[in-house]
Structure 1
Amino acid sequence: MKKFIFSLFLLFYSALSPAQQSLTFGIVPQQSAAELAKLWGPIVKDLSRTSGIDIHFATAPDIPTFEKRLSAGEYDIAYMNPYHYVVFNQSPGYQALAKARDRLIKGILVVAKDSKINELTDLQNTTLAFPAPAAFAATILTQADLTAQEIDFIPNYVSSHDSVYLTVAKGIYPAGGGVLRTFENIPAELRGQLRILSTTKGYTPHAIAIHPRIAAEADKLQQALIAMEQRQTGKDLLDKINIKGFAQAVDSDWDDIRALKLQQLSAK
């Protein structure tokens, strides 16, 4: 009898809708897990409360691991860079809900504040720091600008944007790639040791996208994300990640990324 009751419980639990189960919201690890939890944890909690869906913060130790988890469809919801969205929209089929309002993503190259490097050409034949090979703005766009000027360099991948900024400030690398949003989020003391050498062209920013298995919850989640900035509490949370608010997004918003015809990831 006990086995029968237990079997019924398992059958009932497996039949629960995604909204009744706990969903994971994976955040691309541009910064340390601790920093992301501090910045995004309250946002995920707020989204859970306003949408009525149980959602929990998640990330990965580094960007390549995050890519593998996206490829496997491990996250129910994910905040991913534009290139990731183009790739993982194809498979396993993540669908965009929202993007940062009134913002384009741009890559930046930073150098130490007192560095004698003033032009991209000063980076000829140097070893530079980047977060990961598929970090869209911090790596792909900044490297494209260097290549366009026929600058030879050796890339070294240091796992996160924060690591780029720290190693450049310490003089380990003469320059490194990042994005303005994460640059603005680092401690003022560290930011004061750096300056922006160059900025790339702007593109459609990161996507907040859902796995197809929770498509039934799309409207609730999208409405809650867009409404966040309309409440002072939500606005304060968004200010901490330097985002004004979220706007509704559709798949075609990332056609500017597709037009670049970038080499596809092999994260599977």
Structure 2
Amino acid sequence: MPLHHFKKYLPLLALAGTLLSNSSVFATTYSIAVVPQYNVVQLHSEWQPLLDRIARDTGITLELSLQSSIPKFERGLLKGEPDFAYANPYHAVMAKNAQGYLPIVRDSKALTGILLVRKDSPYKNISDLSGKEIGFPAPNAFGASLYMRALLAENKIKFEQRFLNTHGNVFRSILNGSVAAGGAVNNTYNDEKPEIRDQLRIIYQTPGSASHPVIVHPRVPEAVRAAVKAAFLALPKDPAGLALLKEVRLPQPLATNYESDYLQLEKLGIEKFTLLEKE
């Protein structure tokens, strides 16, 4: 990040630091949950170094909380368990309505849902998938499942759905023939190994939306929110910080708010396609 770009975050960092240093009542350890688009081993290896850097820069420890499936992540989020979370766009809507969570940072690149088939399959468009089985990571994975299923229904495509827990499972189920097609998003597809990606073909895409945000529970003090937000925004200033952000698919973080980026998702009319797993 050019120096003149970094300078605009200095007042926010200074203010957050002053408020934190003057407020001994604030806790210095908070939890952060991450939506499990990947397995927990991969998520830990990607996120823990970033959280260590944020702790070094702010004095605030964000303890990583990982779940084995997206539905388990959702249950905790809707109960208000994590202080912070990295969640999909519609999770931001659900969490705002359930607990008052607010988005603070997201990546500048739009999120796009994609529907994939094997490269050598006969399927050319979504109408070819009528009556077929389609795999999705989880019911409420926004671009990969929730929005995608709503658009398929809008196009009067009838299909069997199978939920496979992670994006990686979707890719591999397409390749081994367990499902005819599968839903994912541009970020996870681009992040997949070339030997997997090169065997897949995109036949449909959703309109783009604001990407996964970092959201925060309203119980977290404003000074802590400001410090964490400023830390994310300042990280691209050096190569090491940028590398950490790239690992978690947040290479170009920018400030966000609910009204400008996520309120519009309430108007898509996709809430009837949400499914919440019972405990």
What TM-score, normalized by structure 1, do the two folds share?
0.88
DSSP-derived class of the 2:123 partner: coil
Matched, 1:62 2:64: no
C-alpha contact 1:24 1:55 (8 A) present in aligned 2? yes
Runs of 5+ consecutive residues of structure 2 not aligned to the other structure = 1-23
Equivalent in the alignment of 1:4 = none
Residue 56 (structure 1) shift = 2.0
Q: Distance in 2 between matches of 1:241 and 1:71?
A: 23
Partner of residue 110 from structure 2, selected from 99, 104, 110: 104
Q: Distance in 1 between matches of 2:277 and 2:33?
A: 16
Equivalent in the alignment of 1:12 = none
Equivalent in the alignment of 2:170 = 164
Partner of residue 153 from structure 2, selected from 144, 147, 150: 147
Equivalent in the alignment of 1:18 = 27
Matched, 1:259 2:261: no
DSSP-derived class of the 2:180 partner: coil
Residue 108 (structure 1) shift = 0.4
- What does residue range 36-51 of structure 1 map to in structure 2 within 5 Å? 36-51=43-58
CA change 1:157–1:116 in 2 (3 A) is same
Which amino acid in structure 2 is aligned with residue 100 of structure 1? Answer: D
Q: Distance in 1 between matches of 2:277 and 2:117?
A: 31
Runs of 5+ consecutive residues of structure 1 not aligned to the other structure = 1-14
DSSP-derived class of the 1:213 partner: coil
Q: Distance in 2 between matches of 1:203 and 1:142?
A: 13
Question: How many pairs are equivalent?
Answer: 251
RMSD (Å), alpha carbons: 1.8
Map Cα deviations across residues 34-61 of structure 1 (whole Å, 9 max, x no partner): 1111222222222222222011222211
Q: Distance in 2 between matches of 1:180 and 1:162?
A: 13
Q: Distance in 1 between matches of 2:53 and 2:243?
A: 11
Q: Distance in 2 between matches of 1:93 and 1:144?
A: 26
DSSP-derived class of the 1:150 partner: coil
Map Cα deviations across residues 162-192 of structure 1 (whole Å, 9 max, x no partner): 1111111111111000001111222222222
Q: Distance in 2 between matches of 1:200 and 1:267?
A: 25
Q: Distance in 1 between matches of 2:103 and 2:154?
A: 31
DSSP-derived class of the 1:140 partner: helix
Which amino acid in structure 2 is aligned with residue 89 of structure 1? Answer: K
Map Cα deviations across residues 8-42 of structure 1 (whole Å, 9 max, x no partner): xxxxxxx95222xx222111001111111122222
Name the % identity: 29
Equivalent in the alignment of 1:121 = 127
CA change 1:40–1:228 in 2 (3 A) is same
C-alpha contact 1:71 1:267 (8 A) present in aligned 2? no
What TM-score, normalized by structure 2, do the two folds share?
0.85
Which amino acid in structure 2 is aligned with residue 126 of structure 1? Answer: K
C-alpha contact 2:139 2:146 (8 A) present in aligned 1? yes
Moved more, 231-240 or 126-135: 231-240
Map Cα deviations across residues 46-89 of structure 1 (whole Å, 9 max, x no partner): 22222220112222110110000001222111001111111111
C-alpha contact 2:57 2:231 (8 A) present in aligned 1? yes
Q: Distance in 1 between matches of 2:169 and 2:118?
A: 14
Residue 241 (structure 1) shift = 3.5
DSSP-derived class of the 1:87 partner: helix
Moved more, 237-246 or 58-67: 237-246
